[in-house]
A and B are shown apart, each in its own frame.
Chain A
Amino acid sequence: MTTKKIKSDTEFWQGNEACAEGAITAGCRFFAGYPITPSSEIAEHLALRLPQVGGIAIQMEDELASLGAVIGASCAGAKSMTATSGPGFSLMQENIGYAFMTEAPCVIVDVQRAGPATGQATKCGQGDVMQARWGTHGDYAAIVLSPNSVQEMFDMTIRAFNLAEKFRTPVVLLADEVIAHMREKIVLPPLDKVEIVNRRKPKPNEKAFFGLEDVPSMPSFGEGFNITVTGSTHDEYGIRATADPVIHRKLVERLVGKILRNVDEIVDYESYNVDKCNVGIISYGCTSRSVYETTELAEKEGIDAGLIRLKTIWPFPEKIVKKMTKNAKVVFVPEMNLRQIFYEVQRVVGDTVPIVPVNKIGGGEMITPEELLSEIEKETR
Chain B
Amino acid sequence: MKKKVSETGIKKFMRDIPLPFCPGCGDVTVMSSFLRAVQELGYDSLSKFVFCSGIGCAAWIPSPHFIADTIHTTHGRSIPVATGVKLIRPDLNVVVFGGDGDLTGIGLSHLIHAARRNVDITVVMVNNMIYGMTGGQVAPTTPLKAKTTTTPYGNYERPIDATRLVVAAGASYAARWTTAHAEQLKEAMKKGLGIRGFAFVEAVSHCPTAFGRRVGLKTIVNILDWLKENSVPIENTAKMAEKDLEGKIVIGEFVHRRSPTFTESVYAIIEEAKKSVKTS
Q: Which of A65-73, A115-123, A167-175, A276-284 contacts B (4 or more CB under 8 A)?
A: A65-73
Kindly state whether residue B67 has any CB partner on chain A within 8 Å: yes
A78→B274 contact, CB < 8 A: no
- Cα–Cα distance between A78 and B73 once the two chains are bound (Å): 18
A76→B85 contact, CB < 8 A: yes
Residues of the B chain whose Cβ atoms lie less than 8 Å from the Cβ of A66: 80
Residues of the B chain whose Cβ atoms lie less than 8 Å from the Cβ of A240: 63-64, 72
Report the interface size for chain B: residues with CB under 8 A from the other chain: 42
Most buried by A among B68, B80, B82: B80
- How distant is A243 from chain B, measured CB to nearest CB, in Å? 12
A-B contact count (CB 8 A): 147
Of A54, A68, A70, A76, the residue contacting B73 (CB under 8 A) is A68
CB-CB nearest in chain A for B262: A58
B270→A56 contact, CB < 8 A: yes
Q: Which of A138-146, A218-226, A327-335, A337-345 contacts B (4 or more CB under 8 A)?
A: A218-226
A72→B277 contact, CB < 8 A: no
B110→A61 contact, CB < 8 A: yes
Question: A228-B63, A230-B64 given as contacts; is B87 within 8 A of A52 (CB)?
Answer: no
CB-CB nearest in chain A for B112: A61
Of A51, A65, A238, the residue contacting B274 (CB under 8 A) is A51
CB-CB nearest in chain A for B87: A56
Interface residues of B in 239-280 (CB under 8 A from A): 266, 269-270, 272-274, 276-277, 280
Hey, what's the 0/1 contact readout for B66-90 against A, CB within 8 Å counting as 1? 0111111110110111111111110
- Cα–Cα distance between A227 and B89 once the two chains are bound (Å): 15
B84→A80 contact, CB < 8 A: yes
- Cα–Cα distance between A380 and B67 once the two chains are bound (Å): 68
A239→B84 contact, CB < 8 A: no
Interface residues of A in 38-60 (CB under 8 A from B): 48, 51-52, 54-56, 58, 60
Most buried by B among A5, A94, A226, A240: A226
Kindly state whether residue A273 has any CB partner on chain B within 8 Å: no
- Cα–Cα distance between A239 and B280 once the two chains are bound (Å): 51
CB-CB nearest in chain A for B277: A52
Kindly state whether residue B92 has any CB partner on chain A within 8 Å: yes
B77→A64 contact, CB < 8 A: yes
Kindly state whether residue B109 has any CB partner on chain A within 8 Å: yes
Report the interface size for chain A: residues with CB under 8 A from the other chain: 50
Interface residue SS majority, chain A: mixed
Question: A52-B274, A58-B266, A240-B64 given as contacts; is B81 within 8 A of A226 (CB)?
Answer: no
Most buried by B among A29, A51, A62, A66: A51
- How distant is B80 from chain A, measured CB to nearest CB, in Å? 3
Kindly state whether residue A316 has any CB partner on chain B within 8 Å: no
Residues of the B chain whose Cβ atoms lie less than 8 Å from the Cβ of A80: 84
Kindly state whether residue B7 has any CB partner on chain A within 8 Å: no
B72→A232 contact, CB < 8 A: yes
- How distant is A9 from chain B, measured CB to nearest CB, in Å? 17
Kindly state whether residue B91 has any CB partner on chain A within 8 Å: yes
Residues of the A chain whose Cβ atoms lie less than 8 Å from the Cβ of B171: none
Residues of the B chain whose Cβ atoms lie less than 8 Å from the Cβ of A29: 88
Residues of the A chain whose Cβ atoms lie less than 8 Å from the Cβ of B274: 51-52, 54
- How distant is B265 from chain A, measured CB to nearest CB, in Å? 10
Apart from A64-B80, A72-B52, A76-B89, 5 more pairs, CB < 8 Å: A30-B84, A60-B83, A65-B77, A72-B82, A230-B63
Which residues of B are at the interface with A, using a C-beta cutoff of 8 A?
Answer: 17, 47-48, 50, 52, 63-64, 67-74, 76-77, 79-89, 91-92, 109-110, 113, 266, 269-270, 272-274, 276-277, 280
Which residues of A are at the interface with B, using a C-beta cutoff of 8 A?
Answer: 2-3, 5, 29-30, 32, 48, 51-52, 54-56, 58, 60-62, 64-66, 68-78, 80, 94-95, 98, 102, 220-222, 224-232, 238-240
Q: List 22 A-B contacts (CB under 8 A).
A: A3-B276, A3-B277, A30-B87, A51-B274, A52-B276, A58-B83, A61-B113, A64-B80, A65-B79, A65-B109, A65-B110, A68-B83, A72-B52, A72-B86, A73-B87, A75-B84, A76-B84, A77-B88, A94-B74, A220-B89, A224-B47, A226-B47
